[in-house]
Amino acid sequence: MNVDRIEKKIILNASREQVWRAISDSSRFGKWFGVAIDGPFVAGQEANGRIVPTQVDPEVARMQEPYTGTPWHVVVDRIEPMRLFSFRWHPYAIDAAKDYSAEPMTLVTFELSDIEGGTLLTITESGFDRIPLERRTDAIKANDGGWAHQAQLVKKYLAIEERS
Amino acid sequence: MQQGYDGNVPATAPLFAALGDPVRLAMLARLCTGGPLSTMVLGQGIEVSRQAITKHLQVLEDAGLVSSDRVGRDRLWQMRPQQLVAAREYLDRMSAQWDTRLERLRKFVEEEFD
């Protein structure tokens, strides 16, 4: 039984360089992730930003309003061009009024490799063993709302692309 | 000594920390397959003192992962699977978060031209 890590693999129909840029360039990262990040990612340094509302759907944007502007904070760990990018963060730290700085962080790692038809991206998030249970409850509550919005957002996104 | 654990789990119980130890995981594994078991039986073959075994079991009990009842001079321990389910559920939700983020990344790299 592994309760300490999440691992995801996805094959992206894009060149390794495109995927690398989408992950390691902070402005590109922010576009898909939904965050406005101040400055570039630098190994060993903090990157700070704010959650931004979607511009795809004003209705969803309004529902996301409570989280808009919530500080977003990671500590970049390693940057190995075209191969590996990692950072530490507080998973789902969405309560703007709460100070998360003293709490333990998880480590998120993006690893790229070539595969037939594109680029294989492996994401792992580890270190949950040090996250207190209190957070678990918070995250579940927060996620119940966030999930539905995200699903709507994806739907809306698809509909818009189909039209264009 | 505490009474057998039967109430709600404290909100701040260090669940993942409780699970993050090989000795405790070994004891949980034993309880999964052959519980309830006494403190003595649980400690058999584990190379730590009886005192340490009791301490580990208390950590598991504080996290709501096991419960115990006094039987004579020993205690009888059993699994409380709800907390493990909760831990799994938490990770499943975090996992779902990554699914939606990755779907947005896919859109970004596959359909948007930088």
Q: What is the per-residue pLDDT across B13-34, written as a single tens digit (0 to 9) for each?
A: 467 777 778 888 888 878 877 7
Q: What is the CATH number of the domain that holds A81?
A: 3.30.530.20
First-to-final CA distance of chain B:
65
Among A112, A126, A122, residue whose Cα is nearest residue A8 = A122
Average pLDDT of the segment spanning A143-154: 41
Indicate if ipTM > 0.90.
no
Number of domains in chain B: 1
Number of domains in chain A: 1
- Range with lowest mean pLDDT among A65-69, A114-118, B72-76: A65-69
Residues in B whose CB is inside 8 Å of some CB of A read 9, 11-17, 19-20, 25, 63, 84, 86-91, 93-112, 114
Q: Is 60 exceeded by the pLDDT of residue B99?
A: yes
Q: Do A12 and B105 touch (CB under 8 A)?
A: yes
pTM attached to this predicted model: 0.67
Please check whether residue B94 lies inside any domain of the structure: yes
For residues A17 and A82, the answer to whether their CB atoms sit within 8 Å is: yes
Q: Is 60 exceeded by the pLDDT of residue A83?
A: yes
pLDDT at A77: 98
For residues A149 and A60, the answer to whether their CB atoms sit within 8 Å is: yes
| DSSP, res B112 | -
Q: Residue A54 and residue A153: Cα distance in Å, rounded?
A: 8
Q: How confident is the model at residue A61 (pLDDT cuts 50, 70, 90)?
A: low
Please check whether residue B1 lies inside any domain of the structure: no
pLDDT at A62: 67
Residues 6+ apart with CB under 8 A from B74: B38, B39, B40
Average pLDDT of the segment spanning A18-42: 92
B87/A63: higher pLDDT = B87
Q: What is the CATH number of the domain that holds B50?
A: 1.10.10.10
* A77-81, A103-107, A121-125, B3-7: which is most confident: A77-81
Q: Is omega for the bond preceding B36 within 30 degrees of 0, making it cis?
A: yes
**How close does chain B come to A22, measured CA to CA in Å?**
7
Please check whether residue B2 lies inside any domain of the structure: no
Please check whether residue B3 lies inside any domain of the structure: no
The residue segments making up the domain with residue B45 are 9-113
Interface test with A, best of B90, B110, B113 (most A CBs within 10 A): B90
Q: How confident is the model at residue A164 (pLDDT cuts 50, 70, 90)?
A: very low
pLDDT at A94: 66
The three-class DSSP label of residue B98 is helix
Q: What is the DSSP string of chain A?
A: ---SEEEEEEEESS-HHHHHHHHHSHHHHHHHHTEEEES---TTSEEEEEE---SS-HHHHHHHGGGTT-EEEEEEEEEETTTEEEEEE-TT---TTS--TTS--EEEEEEEEEETTEEEEEEEEE-GGGS-HHHHHHHHHHHHHHHHHHHHHHHHHHHHHHH-
pLDDT at B83: 67
Please check whether residue B44 lies inside any domain of the structure: yes
Q: Do A28 and B100 touch (CB under 8 A)?
A: no
Q: How confident is the model at residue B48 (pLDDT cuts 50, 70, 90)?
A: confident
**How close does chain A come to B8, measured CA to CA in Å?**
13
The residue segments making up the domain with residue A106 are 5-163
pLDDT at A58: 61
**How close does chain B come to A45, measured CA to CA in Å?**
23
Whether residue A130 lies within 8 A of chain B, CB to CB, comes out as yes
Among B14, B42, B22, residue whose Cα is nearest residue A136 = B14
